[in-house]
């Protein structure tokens, strides 16, 4: 089964129309779309406007691939179940979001090889064909990175939070944990692909 979703907030007719046309062209009768109350009503694929979380998770579990907007809810939910996911970013020029942040999200996550990005409706059919050749991948952990969890635990206990492991040792205080200065940034993108679930200094 192929599951198309526009997320919990707004419709995304450009995506659903493209999925509907692709399904018709490939004669796929196993596509289910969650369309978020969109004005475009699919002619070929089955659809529903919204789903409860339990229903959403159940459909997701049975899906072989997922096609979605470039929203983190959809992306993370698919990765947690190891489903190949094709995302098409919403664009501000079509009033699909207020800005183009989904383009940046898709680019960044696509470059890490964990999602497949379709830039627009012309690009979508070939990316869906590609995704169908992929099997399920390793599921990601269901909780945040150990470093973030440890930081939050330390904060909760009222202890010092180590906020930047890149800062050199001589910048740290005598207790060795509380850092007195922070480096502005590191340049490499954070990595969480299948082979590289570890970001530098992030996981054991």
Partner 1 sequence: MTLPIKETRHPDKVLAVASSGGHWVQLRRVVPAFADSEVVYVTVLKSYRSEVPENRFYQVNDATRWNKLGLIMLATRLAWIICKERPAVVISTGAAPGFFALMLGRWFGARTIWIDSIANVEEVSLSGSRAGRYADLWLTQWPHLARSEGPHYAGSVL
> Which residues of the shown chain bind partner 1 in the complex (CB under 8 A)?
7-9, 52-54, 71-77, 79, 101-102, 104-105, 107-108, 140, 142-153, 155-156, 161-164, 181-190, 192, 199, 202
Closer Cβ to partner 1, 123 or 164, answer by number? 164
To the nearest whole angstrom, how small is the minimum distance from the Cβ of residue 6 to partner 1? 10
Instruction: Report the nearest approach of partner 1 to the CB of residue 148 (Å).
Output: 3
Q: Please say whether the beta carbons of 146 and 204 come within 8 A.
A: yes
CB of 108 to partner 1, least distance (A): 5
Report in angstroms how near the CB of residue 169 gets to partner 1 at its nearest. 18
Residue 25 or 138: which CB sits closer to partner 1?
138
Query: For partner 1, which is the closer residue by CB, 16 or 75?
Result: 75
Q: Which is nearer to partner 1, 76 or 134 (CB)?
A: 76
Burial 150-160 (b: 16+ CB within 10 A, else e): eeeeeeeeeee
């Amino acid at each position: 089964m192929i599951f198309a979703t526009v997320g919990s907030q707004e419709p995304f007719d450009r995506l659903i129309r493209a999925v509907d046309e692709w399904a018709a062209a490939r004669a796929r009768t196993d596509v289910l779309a969650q369309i978020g109350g969109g004005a475009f009503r699919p002619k070929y694929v089955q659809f529903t406007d919204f789903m409860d979380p339990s229903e959403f998770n159940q459909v997701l579990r049975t899906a072989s691939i997922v096609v979605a907007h470039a929203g983190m809810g959809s992306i993370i939910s698919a990765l947690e179940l190891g489903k190949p996911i094709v995302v098409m970013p919403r664009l501000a020029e079509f009033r699909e979001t207020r800005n183009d942040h989904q383009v940046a999200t898709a680019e960044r996550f696509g470059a890490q090889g964990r999602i497949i990005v379709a830039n627009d409706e012309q690009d979508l059919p070939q990316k869906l064909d590609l995704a169908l050749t992929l099997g399920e991948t390793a599921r990601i952990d269901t909780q945040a990175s150990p470093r973030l969890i440890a930081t939050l635990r330390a904060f909760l206990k009222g202890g010092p939070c180590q906020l930047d492991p890149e800062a050199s040792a001589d910048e740290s205080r005598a207790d060795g944990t509380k850092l007195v200065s922070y480096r502005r940034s590191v340049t490499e993108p954070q990595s969480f692909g299948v082979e590289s679930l570890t970001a530098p200094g992030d996981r054991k």
